[in-house]
C-alpha cells in the first residue's frame, strides 16, 4: 500500500469511528500533537486511550437524531473528510467535525509517514463562525 492509500484509509477510519482499522496504520511510537493546547501524545495505545476515555463517549462517533415529527431516525456523521492533499511522506487532511453538543469545527491534520506507517499527526481545530456583513462586497462563499 502506498502512502496516499495509508492516509486515505486513516481518514476513512476516522470518518467511520473504526479504531480497529486505524490502529494498524499507525507506527507503534506514533506521536500526535495538539499545538493549540500544547499537548503531545506518544504511542498507539495512548492515542486509542484518548478516544476510548473521552467524556460521555467518543467525540466523533456517529449519532442518531430525530429528523421528523413522526420520529424517523437518521445516523449523522461526526467527522466528514473535506479534502486530502500531499505526496511522499507529508499529507494534509481537512475535515468538518461535529461534536455531541452540535458545535461544528474544522480540523486540519498534518500527517507524516515513515516506512509506510503514520509516524506523526499534528491537529489544529477551529470553530466555525458567521462571516461579518462588512466583508460581503469582497467575498465569495466557500462553504463546502
Do residues 32 and 47 lie in contact, with contact meaning Cβ atoms separated by under 8 Å?
yes
> What are the start-end ranges of the H helices in 29-120?
44-52
Q: Which of 30, 51, 32 is nearest to 40 (CA)?
A: 32
- All three cell numbers of 116: 509506510
User: Does the pLDDT value for residue 125 go beyond 80?
Assistant: yes
Return the DSSP state at 131.
Answer: P
3-128 under CATH 3.30.70.1230, yes or no: no
Give the 3-state secondary structure of residue 74: strand
Residue with cell 486509542: 48
Span 44-77, pLDDT tens digits: 999 999 888 877 655 555 444 444 444 444 344 5
Amino acid at each position: 500500500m502506498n502512502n496516499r492509500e495509508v492516509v486515505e484509509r486513516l481518514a476513512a477510519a476516522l470518518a467511520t469511528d473504526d479504531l480497529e482499522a486505524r490502529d494498524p496504520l499507525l507506527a507503534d511510537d506514533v506521536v500526535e500533537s495538539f499545538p493549540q493546547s500544547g499537548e503531545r501524545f506518544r504511542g498507539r495505545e495512548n492515542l486509542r486511550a484518548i478516544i476510548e476515555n473521552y467524556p460521555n463517549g467518543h467525540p466523533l462517533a456517529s449519532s442518531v437524531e430525530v429528523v421528523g415529527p413522526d420520529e424517523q431516525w437518521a445516523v449523522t456523521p461526526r467527522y466528514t473528510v473535506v479534502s486530502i492533499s500531499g505526496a511522499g511522506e507529508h499529507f494534509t487532511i481537512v475535515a468538518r467535525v461535529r461534536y455531541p453538543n452540535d458545535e461544528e469545527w474544522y480540523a486540519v491534520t498534518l500527517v507524516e509517514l515513515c516506512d509506510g506507517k503514520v509516524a506523526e499527526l499534528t491537529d489544529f481545530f477551529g470553530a466555525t463562525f458567521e462571516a461579518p456583513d462588512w466583508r460581503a462586497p469582497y467575498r465569495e462563499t466557500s462553504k463546502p
